Chain A
Amino acid sequence: MNFKLKDIVPQLITVLAVVLVFGFFTYNAQINMENRGIDFGYGFLTQESSFDVQFSLIEYDGSHSYFRAYLVGLLNTILVSVIGIIIATILGVIVGIARLSPNYLINKFAAFYVEFFRNIPLLLQIFFWYFAALRALPLPQDAEAMFGVFFLTIKGLYVPAFIWQNFNIFFYSIIAAIIAIIVIRAHAKKVQENQGKQIPVFLISIGLIFILPLLSFLIGGVRLSFEVPVLKQLATTSFIYEGGVSLPPELIALTLSLSLYTATFIAECVRAGIQGVGKGQKEAAASIGLTPNQVLKLVIMPQALRIIIPPTTNQYLNLTKNSSLAAAIAYPDLVLVFAGTALMQTGKAIEIVSITMFTYLTLSISISILMNWYNKKIAIQEK
């Protein structure tokens, strides 16, 4: 027997302690709920919610179920997280590289941005962007059109809606372009490995992604027209825009503050990653005749990414969880819609909070798994 008693006993005690603690709380909650006549159950999810939500990606109104309201909140959380992650990553990479710039102004400006935005509590920043924007933006009737079609007002950003004819043909043309690019890239790699010849893959890709959809317009019968928002009067001093798509100011303020805040941390990850690659690597790469672009792309970045990805994963998780601060400025995310209004209307605190916690857990673990997979993919493969 390899097992020793002193190895097993602490493990057993730990398991027992965990089970006891959970058991105690469950039991306690049960007794208390029974005493106060509160029923436990998830049946309410199918009941009619009877409240409306300001902004939804799926069709929803108060005649739908609480479960539908949950989906509305979940999708809104995912929406703001995905947009936030994309903007924060782009901005973070730019600022991270800028911090290493030999140009004094760029370098110091990036450093100032990072220190300023990461040292102010996020909730304050959200309030700032929301209420500052509300104060600064014009009323709908005073708004000046940007490019003649966009209207940024206190009630939201109004953009033209796309009205498609034969949208599916356009969609297929994009799919075709993407498949063609993948095939060409694979072919180019083979050619380079066998003959040492380089094909300008990047230029060809750009060409394909533009030309194929363009062809669908010219010969595929695809038509695109725009529905431009039009000002409508509700009362003497009260206006809105009708038609087009409106993005609520809550979404814009939340995305902006989340991205600006998280980008500072990503910038630091990027800087650390690039600085973590030995100087000798760069010099060695240059000495064999690679261009500065190739040095960055083929030598520095692959090594830097291994340092950048794990801490950046944390930042993605933080951003997703921080999006729950949306409740403060009326963006209808999961916490506001489900753990807020739905909880209040049903009184099912334990059920709703547990569902919400489990949902955030699932979201976070999904991001983790995805990023770990990517990290593994770019790790050094010993041959």
Chain B
Amino acid sequence: MFKYLKQLTSLVAMVAVLFTFTTESMAAKKSKTLKNTQKKGFVRCGVSQGLPGFSNADAAGNWTGVDVDVCRAVAAAVLGDANKVKFTPLSAKERFTALTSGEIDILSRNTTWTLSRDADIGLTFVGVNFYDGQGFMVRKSSGITSTSQFKDGISACTNIGTTTELNMRDFFNSKGISYEPVAFEKADEVVAAYDAGRCDTYTTDKSGLAAQRTKMKNPDEHIVLPETISKEPLGPVVRQGDAVWEDIVRWSLNTMIEAEEYGITSANADMMKTSDNPAIKRLVGAEGELGAAFGLDNDWSLRIIKQVGNYGESYKRNIADTGILPDRGPNQLWTKGGILYVPPAR
């Protein structure tokens, strides 16, 4: 009796294995991350511990922000529902370890793309969703209006484990100014210490300064100095070694930007299916077989646009309307004087 039972189970198992193999596309088979994500039913996304406009949770635990929207776009493309994302708040120090150890599958946490990070530590940057640069914030009452007024002995509050620490050193060294770096692990403590008067200036990415300013006791007492001391292209990161997953994340982001370029919004996406422009039709899945290359269906990009919106909508909702950075600056489309330019989806 037991003997037959054993044979029966192994037969069932074999059939099951065969079945899964045949239903799975080649891409999904190649991408362990995609397979795991579809099995789990949610995208595992690493975000910041609270940076308004980029990734911030409200009292009810709902995450919003442009970084959050990248993960939502991937969830819409892969799982069909932009809400199927599990967010993990990470400090600057924890973020790369969380990604390389497999705790999360996308790191979308205002992370600067640099050569050493891309090449050294097992990460791959897939694109840029915000062009930023490091700046300084000071109290208005100090009378400082430019970094050229900085003097020896100035104390600067910042976060540890970021490119900020390195840029700060380069900047003060090149100006020959001695300074006191006060580096905290979490952004909230940096803000609290600067706000209390511990430091004369607070330095981080300008978008971060604008966002954190809204958290200060009295935001109007502080100004961000005009100088930008570094290039900080921020973008989503994936683990090295899963090319298909890397492509999915890259093209989810590109879809949002290209949708804005062609004027496709969450409201008019369905109507765009009948457009005369083949580029638009490809983006909304009415022409071509673009999804097949990733092992996704053809509506993947349509879902992104309908559920998350295009890049412009995401920017307006999260950064402009919240008063953080109403002016898009370099984060405007290349057709409108900015530097947002993505390869064509075809």
Contacts and interface: CB of A to CB of B under 8 A. Distances in A.
Bind each other: yes
Interface string B135-150: 0001101111000011
Given A134-B198, A232-B153, A340-B160, A38 B182 contact: no
B182 A344 contact: no
- The interface centre, meaning the residue of B151, B182, B189 with most chain A CB atoms within 10 A of its CB, is B182
Contact of A37 (B138, B141, B192, B240): B240
Contacts of A33: 122
Given A235-B142, A242-B153, A341-B160, A329 B189 contact: yes
Given A62-B169, A340-B161, A347 B121 contact: yes
Nearest to B155: A155
Interface stretch (B93-101, B248-256, B284-292, B327-335): B93-101
A328 interface: yes
B200 A235 contact: yes
B103 interface: no
A37 B182 contact: no
Contacts of B189: 328-330
B215 interface: no
Interface in A328-355: 328-330, 332, 336, 340-341, 343-347, 349
A129 interface: no
B120 interface: yes
B184 A235 contact: no
A154 interface: yes
Nearest to A350: B97
Interface in A32-64: 33, 35-38, 50-54, 62
Interface in A19-40: 33, 35-38
- Looking at B161, B183, B241, which has the most chain A CB atoms within 10 Å of its CB? B183
B24 interface: no
Interface in A66-86: none
A383 interface: no
B151 A235 contact: yes
Interface of B is mostly: mixed
Contacts of A250: 182
A345 B164 CA distance: 11
Contacts of B117: 347
A240 to B, nearest CB: 5
Contacts of B150: 234
A194 interface: no
A342 to B, nearest CB: 9
A134 B191 CA distance: 13
Given A340-B161, A347-B120, A330 B184 contact: yes
B154 interface: yes
Nearest to A39: B120
Contacts of A328: 184-186, 189
Given A131-B192, A131-B196, A327 B143 contact: no
A51 B166 contact: yes
A345 B166 contact: yes
A55 to B, nearest CB: 8
A135 interface: yes
A336 B165 contact: no
A363 interface: no
Interface in B107-158: 116-117, 120-122, 138-139, 141-144, 149-151, 153-155, 157
A166 B216 CA distance: 52
Given A235-B143, A349-B97, A344 B200 contact: no
Given A349-B96, A349-B100, 12 more contacts: A37-B241, A51-B165, A62-B166, A234-B153, A235-B151, A237-B142, A329-B184, A330-B183, A336-B185, A344-B161, A344-B162, A345-B161
Interface of A: 33, 35-38, 50-54, 62, 131, 134-135, 139, 154-155, 232, 234-238, 240, 242, 248-250, 327-330, 332, 336, 340-341, 343-347, 349
- Smallest CB-CB A-B distances: 3 pairs: A344-B161, A347-B121, A36-B122
25 contacts: A36-B239, A37-B122, A50-B166, A54-B181, A54-B182, A62-B166, A131-B193, A135-B196, A139-B197, A154-B196, A234-B151, A234-B200, A235-B149, A236-B141, A238-B142, A238-B144, A238-B154, A242-B153, A327-B160, A329-B184, A330-B157, A330-B182, A340-B93, A340-B160, A344-B162
